[in-house]
Amino acid sequence: MKNFRQNSLVIDFNVMPVVPDLEKIRNFLLEQINLDFSSVRNLQVSVSKNQVIIETTSPEEAYRLARDHNAKHHISHENQLYEIPIFVEDGAIEVKVHDLPPRMPNHIITSHLQQFGEVVSIRNEVWRDFFPGIPNGVRIVRMKLCKSIPSFISIGGNSAYVVHSNQTKTCRHCSGKLHTGQKCNETKPETSTIPIGKTQQVKEQQKTTKKKQVSDIDETMENKEQTPNTDIDHFNVPVNPQQTANEPRSHLTDSDTPDLVFGPPKEKTNWRSGGKLLKPGTKICYHKKPNK
């Protein structure tokens, strides 16, 4: 893509939650940068990029302003100061480096990234929302790349995740082109943390536990079979209210005793006598009705 910008100085407000109003921008340019408007050809507010782009009369003037004022001034928003990046639009792109320790010096990072192109500048990114103004650990490096940077690289013995525009995404394991939805052949299998000498002991303990569980189940089933039926319904048999087992019959005489006839009960008939359930086949006695 052809670059139509020349001698362009960029004031980047992406570090802020919102782009400041024109009054704040004017005060920033006059009071902090001391911009000489006689050397300005064009001043553009980019809504899509949250930037102010200033075209100067010469490239030397643009580079001088960037060198003298980049990340050296602040703008206040809701009682929070934001450090404003200033750079020259010269074909460099932003490279974001994640996951490195905050105290790692920036010169170590730039030294490692020089194998992928020219490093123009580096700064710490800050939170725009949630924790505004606080550094979030991400380094923003402006570079003129000569080749794409892998997604995962090692810097100073620490793993870093790198993102930039038009990047060829790579796998963290094999460093090849990202194979989304496929398992990488270079993935290391997880190894057991149990010492080799204790593996057999653990297996024996597992077998013993399973045998004990089976034995407990068998014992429980056996106890259930031997336990008599003690449900309350088993004893809830109606009793003839005219007879009481403990009541003596002293008022009866021999002449009052009816004749008795013995015989087997009918099959499949439950007879009740004295409040007890008699099984079929048991001989019982019953009263013979007297002839009228």
The set of residues, in sequence order, having a beta carbon less than 8 Å from that of 203 and lying 6+ positions away, is none
Asked if 85 contacts 13 with a C-beta cutoff of 8 angstroms, the reply is no
Angle, CA of 140, 144 and 150, to the nearest 5°: 65
**Domain 92-182 sits in CATH 3.40.50.620:** no
Backbone angles phi, psi at 115, to 5 degrees: -70, -15
> Can you give the pLDDT at residue 24?
94
d(CA 161, CA 181): 20
Q: What is the band of 108 on the pLDDT scale with cuts at 50, 70, 90?
A: very high
Q: Kindly report, residue by residue over 59-105, the tens digit of the pLDDT.
A: 999 999 999 999 899 999 888 899 999 999 988 999 999 999 999 99
> Can you give the pLDDT at residue 183?
79
The set of residues, in sequence order, having a beta carbon less than 8 Å from that of 292 and lying 6+ positions away, is none
Chain-centre distance for alpha carbon 52? 40
The overall pTM is greater than 0.85:
no
Both ends of the chain: CA-CA distance in Å?
130
| Domain boundaries of the chain, sorted by first residue | 1-90, 92-182
User: For strand 260-263 and strand 284-287, is the pairing parallel, antiparallel, or unpaired?
Assistant: antiparallel
- Side chain identity at residue 202, one-letter code: V
Q: Could you identify the residue written with the tokens 């190894």? A: 191
Mean pLDDT of the chain: 79
Of 281 and 74, the structure prediction assigns the larger pLDDT to 74
Q: Kindly report, residue by residue over 191-217, the tens digit of the pLDDT.
A: 444 454 555 666 677 767 666 666 666
d(CA 152, CA 158): 10
Which of 202, 119, 129 is closest to 164 using CA atoms? 119
> Can you give the pLDDT at residue 192?
45
Q: What is the band of 5 on the pLDDT scale with cuts at 50, 70, 90?
A: confident
Eight-class DSSP state of 89: -
Residue 249 corresponds to which tokens in the numbers above? 């019959």
d(CA 174, CA 196): 30
Q: Which CATH class is domain 1-90?
A: alpha beta
Q: Do domains 1-90 and 92-182 have the same CATH topology?
A: yes
Mapped onto helix, strand or coil, the DSSP state of residue 57 is: coil
